[in-house]
Structure 1
């Protein structure tokens, strides 16, 4: 029995010393997020989130509602967002987006990481980044909730917009899922 234990232990030692390190391969180049978001985007779906209900941990059915086709004759899909190198252009059409953003164009830039950290901790949005622009004199910030769907055959972009009450407290968040054309 003692011999079997020693043979087993020696076998384990030999087995582990003969293993070579795993070759994980090489990491690819750094992803250029600016290149990924450039193009023409159309709203595929729109949701309205009650921030007070979300803060109180209400279930999804009491917190989030799909408003994509809520208004007859005003499809969200009429809205087009064109992002080019330094320029952002919006086309509203019959979309209800006219209540969110003006039609026009302006320059855009990435929001600084300090602003994103503020969004994560104080506003409770799980944003990974965002872009800010000024269109027709109005400052507009779109928070990018995730980049997980931005690559592949059918790229998607999740943008968030918030409405504030008269005391400048966020009350409603709108989440727009845009598909790249």
Structure 2
């Protein structure tokens, strides 16, 4: 029976690297996969999914209105898929998460999602909240804070490195805009 998986972590914990390794493993065995990532994150350009260690792959892009059930099943009917892999899953809508669950339940296709659990204020992203609620398996990947503890939080910083305490939930950026921290150092940075 196919399942819906959610691998979550802070930034810089290797989510995209893990996704690309899983994709490689399927393809190495002659199996077909389908990769997805958020349309709003265009930092990878043509590479679409790109890890900090230099691995990359092309992927389909989803927006809030993308019907993942229809798009994946159309591809699956042409060439059977062994797995669907979704990067930046925090940007999925609740409806899209249910579409992915349907792919596993009715389509018989394993779906593996990778994303952030919380935003720069410690609040759940809508896609992450839905995945935490209905995924068959939850797997936490470990990031590391500068103190050596497990990083679970994502601190947004400005150009000078100061903590940003307010703003839109979604602002695309990498190491220039976010720092992965343990909860203690995240709280200290926000209260400074």
TM-score by shorter chain over 0.5: no
User: Normalising by structure 2, what TM-score?
Assistant: 0.25
Relative contact order (alpha carbons < 8 A, sep ≥ 6): 1 or 2 greater?
Answer: 2
User: Normalising by structure 1, what TM-score?
Assistant: 0.26
Greater share of helix: 2
Greater share of strand: 1
